[in-house]
Amino acid sequence: MTNLFFNPVKVFSGRGCVGEYPWKSHGKKCMIVCGSHSARLCGALDDVRDALTAQNIKFIIFDRVEQNPTVETCKEAGDIAREDKVDFIIGIGGGSPLDAAKAAAYFAPNPHLTVETLYDGECKSDPLPVIAIPTTAGTGSEVTQYSVLTCRRIENKKTLKTPKIFPVAALLDAEYTVTLPQSITNATAVDALCHAVEGYLSKGANPVSDALAEKAMFYVGRSLRSLIEGRLDFALRERLLLGSMLAGMVISVTGTCFVHSFGYPFTYFEGLSHGEANACFLPDFAEYTARVAEDKVMRVYRLCGVKTHEEFRSLIERAVPCDWKFDRDAVMKYSRIGGGGGSVNKGLYEPTADDIYNMYKKYII
């Protein structure tokens, strides 16, 4: 028996959906989890405050989520949520605040869990409900059971993965992505494209995830040229947000492959954004996978509106800078960490040690 698909997130979209959402159905008090700037800048935090006030719901705000949030930050947010007896959590932001909201909701009713035991400890009580409001079109975290956190102990990111942390609802209002600078729009779009492509070329792909991935690649991949040329209208923003959500559904089935594994050390040690780090390995992923699944890779290219490996590589490199250079010892360390990641062999093509070295070596100064 094969489980083709499970995704319990209620997804709503459209301008003003935050104001229309029945927040009361989740309780009388909530905690808003966000970063220090973007949720305010884009207007989402104000809209959520107004909607909660209109429905007589008390709220507290935890706005200290950093980029690539640590397990420690999430534990702290979870402790506050428990002490303040909130009924549910609203995550507003890109992947970092949404992933932090899910982990905080997981910690909150489970005080026995610590920074050390988060991944292996027993989840005795169900997490608080999370409602996710994405303000970037990239992570798809609003529809996944993953919370990717920075783990100092292993000097890398580590994913908390459990169906218990699927958000209960996702509210997609592309208005919140309008204020994003072009560089972030491009990098997050490439992250979304990675989710769709990695899922599509994964051993875990099935007809349902493929259908979602094809639509996601069409929405996001076809938008990259417009992004490169700086043509960002509202309709494009909506397509990107929808594509990003669909790609999130894809990885909720398949997980990611080596693009994500290889990129994490570039983010952890060098500070590249998640999308920038993934862009460094996406064209290679497609090219290597073509050795064993050429037809499927060509379908990826067609959906993205390109025909060849070179065109695809050029499209990605023009969308996001990929010309990083780091010293040799550092890159060798990153290749060991990235090459040892859990999702390295999830793709249709399993890279050899030589392949891994060859993919990293172009980043040696």
| d(C-alpha 45, C-alpha 61), whole Å | 10
Nearer to Fe ion, 191 or 276 (CB): 191
Q: Which of residues 329-348 bind Fe ion (CB under 5 A)?
A: none
Closest CB to Fe ion among 51 and 257? 257
Q: How far apart are CA 5 and CA 25, in angstroms?
A: 26
C-beta of 82: minimal distance to Fe ion in Å? 29
Cα 88 to Cα 86: distance, rounded to the nearest angstrom: 6
CB closer to Fe ion, 191 vs 210: 191
Task: Say how many residues touch Fe ion, by CB under 5 A.
Answer: 1
Choice from 99, 191, 214, 238 touching Fe ion (CB under 5 A): 191
**Amino acid letter at 143?**
V
Q: Pick the closer one to Fe ion by CB: 26 or 157.
A: 157
Please give, one letter per residue, the 3-state secondary structure of 323-336: CCCECHHHHHHHHH
Strands 146-151 and 156-161: antiparallel
For residue 13, what is the enclosing H or E element?
Answer: strand 10-13
CB of 139 to Fe ion, least distance (A): 6
Q: What CA–CA distances, in Å, run from 107 to 85, 91, 130, 153, 318?
A: 13, 15, 12, 19, 41
Positive or negative torsion for Cα 259, 237, 18, 250:
negative
Distance CA 312, CA 39 (A): 33
Site stretch for Fe ion (CB under 5 A), options 15-23, 98-106, 188-196, 352-360: 188-196
- Stretch near Fe ion under the rule CB under 5 A, chosen from 41-49, 96-104, 191-199, 327-335: 191-199
Handedness of CA 179, 8, 104, 54 (dihedral sign): positive
- The residue (of 141 and 289) whose beta carbon lies closer to Fe ion is 141
Give the total residue count for the chain.
365
Q: Which is nearer to Fe ion, 173 or 191 (CB)?
A: 191
CB of 189 to Fe ion, least distance (A): 11
Cα separation, 63 vs 31, whole angstroms = 10
Concatenated DSSP letters for 104-168?
HHHHTT-TT--TTTTTTS---SPPPPEEEEESSSS--GGG-SEEEEEEGGGTEEEEEE-GGGS-S
Minimum CB–partner distance for residue 278 and Fe ion (Å):
6
Whether 48 contacts 110, CB under 8 Å: no
- Our CB check for Fe ion shows the closer of 191 and 214 to be 191
| Least distance (Å) between residue 195 CB and Fe ion | 6
| 68: its two tokens | 């690539």
Q: How near is the Cβ of 203 to Fe ion at its closest, in Å? A: 18
Using the rule CB under 5 A, give the single segment among 190-198, 206-214, 215-223, 355-363 that binds Fe ion: 190-198
Q: Closest approach of Cβ 359 to Fe ion, in Å?
A: 18
Report how far residue 11's alpha carbon sits from residue 130's, in angstroms, rounded to the nearest whole number.
Answer: 13
Tell the smallest beta-carbon distance from residue 71 to Fe ion (Å).
18
Tell me: does residue 142 bind Fe ion (CB under 5 A). Answer: no
Binding window for Fe ion (CB under 5 A); candidates: 111-119, 185-193, 198-206, 330-338? 185-193
Select 80 or 344, whichever has its Cβ closest to Fe ion: 344
Q: Which stretch binds Fe ion (CB under 5 A): 32-40, 70-78, 186-194, 217-225?
A: 186-194
Segment near Fe ion (CB under 5 A), from 72-80, 83-91, 99-107, 189-197? 189-197
- Give dist(CA 83, CA 111) in Å, integer: 10
By beta carbon distance, the residue nearest Fe ion is 191
Site for Fe ion in 239-268 (CB under 5 A): none
Quick one: which segment of 41-49, 72-80, 160-168, 183-191 binds Fe ion (CB under 5 A)?
Answer: 183-191
Nearer to Fe ion, 191 or 238 (CB): 191
Identify which of residues 110 and 256 has a Cβ nearer to Fe ion in the complex: 256
Site for Fe ion, rule CB under 5 A: 191
